[in-house]
């Protein structure tokens, strides 16, 4: 199946009261694992790259890789630029063929965030490419960007932001954080409900790695349609590599520890898809 855009995928999720899993991949093995999990569970899926990943290997390599994987499976696959940190990078992804783009101006004041986000939306509009943006600030560290302790999304500002920018989906800050949580996170789920009541586009939850299944399920019930996973994919991949090297320390063939790492990532992704409720939704 050819790559698809995320707008129809997320609208179906919102109307169907489930979420689509969005997975940040760092290499070929991670991308293969995500695609294999989606195919086995017949789940729609979003494969994401961040600015640091792009810096590591380039937009074109990741795009080509995901495009080939999407053509080999019979489920909807989108390729998304996660946390795009500049208009320039967003345009590079647009021209290359990315089917979904995030521009993250959450570090700016509301008016400046609106200006940046609107410029990307207008540039993507002729190609009908959906744009995600963030309002408030998800805490923790994502790539080279440090969100600190974060800042919550104001429901009233969300109304203004969505209206002015015409974005396709909104990443909300309700107490989640990127990276590994220090202690048990306390999410403001009532705030999420308030945003859902005021904003009629799909909502996105960042910083899901480490949250309990119960919290994720409740977040979906209250309006989340897309959930991002990153840190735990890295952990699953690394655990697989370490397992192989511990059991067979003389291993020098990357395919051997890569195979174990891929299985570890695939199992984690499948678990996430079950939690999101998107299993079987590709049919």
What's 20-86 look like in SS3? EEEEECCCHHHHHHHHHHHHHHCCCEEEEECHHHHHHHCHHHHHHHHHHHHHHCCCCEEEEEEEECC
> What is the end-to-end Cα distance of the chain in Å, rounded?
13
CATH number where 58 lies: 3.20.20.70
Q: Is residue 283 part of a domain?
A: no
pTM: 0.93
∠ CA 104-109-115, nearest 5°, is 65
Residue with token string 């999410």:
187
| pLDDT bucket at 149, cuts 50 / 70 / 90 | very low
Task: Give me the pLDDT at residue 207, please.
Answer: 86
**Inter-axis angle of helices 254-276 and 231-247, to 10 degrees?**
140
Where do runs of H (alpha helix) occur along the chain? 6-16, 28-41, 51-57, 59-72, 87-96, 110-124, 155-165, 189-198, 213-221, 231-247, 254-276
Q: 82 catalytic, yes or no?
A: yes
- 151 part of a folded domain: yes
Check 82, 188, 200, 263 and give the catalytic one.
82
- Residues 225-254 have a mean pLDDT of 96
The answer to whether residue 169 is domain-embedded is yes
Range of the domain at 20: 6-276
- How many domains are contained in the chain? 1
Asked if residue 93 belongs to a domain, the reply is yes
| 183 pLDDT higher than 80 | no
Residue 148 in this model has a pLDDT that exceeds 50: no
Please check whether residue 141 lies inside any domain of the structure. Answer: yes
In a domain? residue 250: yes
Would 206 be classed as within a structural domain? Answer: yes
In a domain, 281, yes or no: no
- Percent pLDDT > 70 in the chain is 93
Burial of 267 (0-12, 13-18, 19+ CB in 10 A): middle
């Amino acid at each position: 199946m050819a790559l698809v855009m995320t707008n129809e995928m997320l609208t179906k999720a919102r109307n169907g009261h489930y979420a689509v899993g969005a997975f940040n991949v760092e290499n070929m093995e991670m991308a293969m694992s995500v695609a294999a999990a989606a195919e086995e569970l017949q789940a729609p899926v979003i494969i994401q790259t961040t600015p640091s990943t792009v810096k590591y290997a380039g937009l074109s390599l990741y795009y080509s890789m995901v495009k080939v994987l999407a053509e080999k499976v019979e489920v909807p696959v989108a390729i998304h630029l996660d946390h795009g940190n500049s208009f320039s990078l967003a345009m590079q992804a647009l021209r290359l063929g990315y089917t979904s783009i995030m521009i993250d101006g959450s570090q700016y004041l509301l008016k400046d965030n609106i200006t940046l986000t609107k410029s990307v939306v207008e540039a993507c509009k002729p190609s009908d490419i959906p744009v995600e943006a963030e309002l408030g600030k998800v805490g923790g560290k994502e790539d080279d960007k440090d969100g600190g302790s974060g800042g919550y999304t104001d429901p009233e500002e969300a109304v203004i932001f969505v209206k002015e920018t015409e974005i396709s989906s909104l990443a909300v800050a309700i107490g989640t954080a990127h990276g590994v949580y220090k202690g048990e996170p306390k999410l403001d789920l009532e705030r999420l409900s308030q945003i859902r009541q005021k904003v009629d586009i799909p909502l996105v939850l960042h910083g899901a790695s480490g949250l309990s299944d119960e919290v994720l399920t409740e977040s979906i019930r209250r309006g989340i349609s897309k959930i991002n996973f990153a840190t735990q994919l890295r952990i699953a991949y690394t655990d697989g590599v370490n397992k192989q090297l511990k059991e067979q320390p003389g291993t020098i063939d990357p395919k051997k520890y890569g195979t174990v790492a891929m299985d570890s990532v695939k199992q984690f992704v499948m678990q996430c898809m079950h939690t999101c409720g998107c299993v079987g939704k590709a049919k």
